Structure 1
Amino acid sequence: MLDYDLDVLNSATKYPSIPTYHALGDRGTLVEQATAFTGDVLLTEKVDGTNSRIVCLPDGDWFIGSREELLTARGDRVHNPALGIVAALRELAAGLKIEDTGRIAVFYLETYGGRIGGQARQYSGQGRVGYRMFDLAYVDPDILSWDRARISAWRENGGQGFADEDGLRAAAEEAGIELTPRLARIPADSLPTMLDQTHAWLRETLPATLVGLDAAALGRAEGIVLRTTDRSVIAKARFQDYERTLKRKG
């Protein structure tokens, strides 16, 4: 196995923060400053569960993690049952066949339903758990020799090598993993830019979740992720952010 520090591996493979489509102001209120996009923009459903990851090392070792920590590894090392992530993803992780590129491949998934988060019943009224893949990154193992402060800055400034849309689709198909729903691909100049326009656009574009797990699900969607097809620009637009902002504005 590769020689690495688990804390460093954890930091190097965490999912970076994604900005909101409209900038955040005081007390979580959005302001009239939209993210600038150019070219085609891909719209996907943002699923409200828990951010999860499968980390595949070049030597065949693998780890399952939440957004903040590694939960288990091949052979059930460092096992942590938090949020049901390991139970949901262990079989998938064990069966992944990764092309040997010499890089660490990190599959990012949203695990949802069950008892995961306050919105679990939007996806299942029967306690079912599902997962959808939403991103894929590649990390050079040499980065594991860096200190954690350097890795954190590198990660939050776009250092991880994310797959573009074609690469993400190909990897998901190869692994047999469903992606978060693709809603549309639209030109950037057709995006709404005002807060009230964006709220109305969200309701029109995604009136209900597309990833319900059973007929008893309540069905409210969390929002939409917007990204360029090469993933150079990415942002999220959540219903609750616009509802809270517009309510405060009266």
Structure 2
Amino acid sequence: MQKKVSIVGFGNVGRALAAYFHNSGIAVQHIFLRDGAEVPKGFDFSFRYLSEVKDNSDVDLIIVCVGDRQINEVIEQLPSEITVAYTSGSIGLKDLQRKENIGVFYPLQTFSGNPVQDMRTVPILLESNSDEVLSCLRAFGEKLFDRVETADSDTRGELHIAAVFVNNFTNHLYYLAEEYTRKEGIDFQLLLPLIKETAAKLNHTSPYDAQTGPARRGDDIVLSKHISRLEGIQKELYELFSTSIKKTYEKKL
């Protein structure tokens, strides 16, 4: 297991991993910030913050947590003799210029600046063209996370698409609901128990079986009432989702 780690990039992913590693007894040697970037307020870990990524002596693993567009450029500057892993779900190994001592350490989770409730449950997806690198990443990951699996670039890309549906699109629907309730003078907080229960059901029920609502029942009267009160993108999405749900369950209506 690698005991000394450096992290390049200190956005939401970099901060979450750095804090979790530190709290788990992993020695985080350096945090590399882009020029002009500042340490976020309230982040009080006494890491060594640097701006020059070439200064990476005395580490076993460098984890790159930068945006997809910067991955190739950053990795090219890192020492070739040190194992490097990047955290993207969309960038494949074939897309990189570097071919040796390189791997993927992809945490399948949303990071938005707030602490993840239980980092240990975050699935970690690994890939490398080297058995040795893959073995090192697996040993490192399994000490810290409950589920560590290999996933090639195509699989990660497919999972990333699915993740956009269940997280990014769903969160945008929350936003639209919040906008609607604000407009109507309703407290959005009233919906939080429903949101929690909807997610909790998936621990023991498939999404197909968990579906409820007027579209699932084929209740066109209620659907028409709802649609008549909406406008713009909210109306379009309501109609689109209702059509999709009705088609999904049309044989059972």
Q: Whose radius of gyration is greater, 1 or 2?
A: 2
User: Scaled by the length of structure 1, what TM-score is found?
Assistant: 0.24
Kindly indicate which of the two structures has a greater share of residues assigned to helix: 2
Higher relative contact order (CA 8 A, sep 6+): 1
User: Scaled by the length of structure 2, what TM-score is found?
Assistant: 0.24
